[in-house]
Chains A and B, each alone.
Chain A
């Protein structure tokens, strides 16, 4: 792989392992591990989307799980009505329709809430993004038709021609392709003119405004792209779990997404994926051992923040301080 930089080689290596290992699990019939990998990949998409605004935009959103919920319900609600009738205009098992609904609904929610949240700064921004996410949470808790806080079973997965998401390996591969596309897109965006403005506004907003950039609009645009991408992750998660509930968008879920991004390394291409991998794998094994499995995460996060400013991705590239 001559011609690739060290960090590009690491990215390709990690992404290759992430593709090959689950296929091996599937080949050898270890469905449990395949399903773990699928969840990992889907959460990685959400973390990649959060990294766009948190890592590159410096916008500490504590409400990103709302988009996962919106995306998941955008699959669950049409599927529910397709089975039980009612709401004919959205009742459908068509995957394209459901995905489009997930992305558009998440984008619209991001546009409306972002327009308000981005008027605030610092800790107010954190609180208000969290408040909007809790609003969505309680909204779905209150709708009995969709199970309230008991949640909703998705009886039929999104239907696509030729692609059958009921097969675990297919769902994994689809999720993996979406992850790679999401990483590519975020990488392209942050290196584009738009991304330069976004990163400059993070580093020094006054300076960026003084240059003639309406940083509010740039941030809002990034916020909407990020929300839409996370909505897509939510649609995949709905298909994966075939069960959705407001618990998916609880504030602690948003905290977990932040954890993944920060642990893995903010403003890096691979960071969110590494963070999601560590989170999913470690949470799985620790939660079998103890109910206090959150504690080691806290310690891990403190260690990374204190000793490795670039997160896990920084350590891999040999840049940990």
Chain B
């Protein structure tokens, strides 16, 4: 068991709101680690600090033993962290394929290449198409992204996270806004990823979390109040009290 990501003493406040309150967190290589917690607990803020989109006030973030606390977001991506967004974040004006191809392109050396048409670079296109096929979107490849449904956008987010070949995938509520059927597909899909990638999953749907997670951390008011195996979390009194809604 090697630790891929290690967070110590992470703190972040926005004005008077403490969104991240002295968080310690270890993510082990290969695990699917879920983070649960009520709305406003600071889950998205935590992910944003891990991906580099938000700067922490204090604390240390280590990836594979290297301190990345002060590395910019684009560098972290190159070091192997990718994220999906709770609120769909795609380039709506570009085609579905272009969106994914851009993620593949990022793994293919630098992009200060000015003359050769990007859409004619076979290995990038092929790989992007393969990723789309994997999430079931191959037929939509040439469509403008804005024409796709919300559910398809969520699948695209996943295809992009996959295409980036990142070692660590930070997934911020990938099921948000999906119907029961689409959610089930997504769960099955995430299950098939288990063991292949290290995943830090934020999710509201408890059934999904308990079906998928190797370990769970519970975040309440910016604090990690418990970390453990799903069964331990289910029976943890503090968690039941604070989050699962039982007295």
Contact = CB atoms under 8 A, between A and B. Distances in A.
A197 interface: yes
B102 A197 contact: yes
A194 B85 CA distance: 24
A203 B111 CA distance: 17
B78, B111, B117, B160, most chain A CB atoms within 10 A? B111
A207 B90 contact: yes
Nearest to A225: B114
Contacts of A212: 74-75, 77-78, 106-107, 164
Interface residues of A, number: 25
Interface string B113-125: 1111111010000
Contact of A206 (B78, B89, B102, B115): B89
B92 A197 contact: no
Interface residues of B, number: 37
Contact of B118 (A196, A204, A210): A196
Given A207-B90, A211-B160, A212-B164, 15 more contacts: A188-B115, A189-B115, A193-B105, A193-B121, A194-B112, A195-B114, A196-B102, A200-B99, A203-B91, A204-B92, A206-B89, A208-B91, A212-B106, A213-B111, A218-B111
B94 A200 contact: yes
Interface of A: 188-189, 191-197, 199-200, 203-204, 206-215, 218, 221
22 contacts: A188-B115, A189-B114, A192-B114, A193-B105, A193-B116, A196-B101, A196-B111, A199-B94, A200-B94, A200-B98, A200-B102, A203-B93, A204-B92, A206-B53, A208-B102, A209-B53, A209-B77, A210-B51, A210-B73, A213-B74, A214-B72, A214-B74
Nearest to B109: A193
Given A211-B77, A212-B77, A192 B115 contact: yes
A286 B8 CA distance: 69
B82 A210 contact: yes
B106 A204 contact: no
Contacts of B130: none
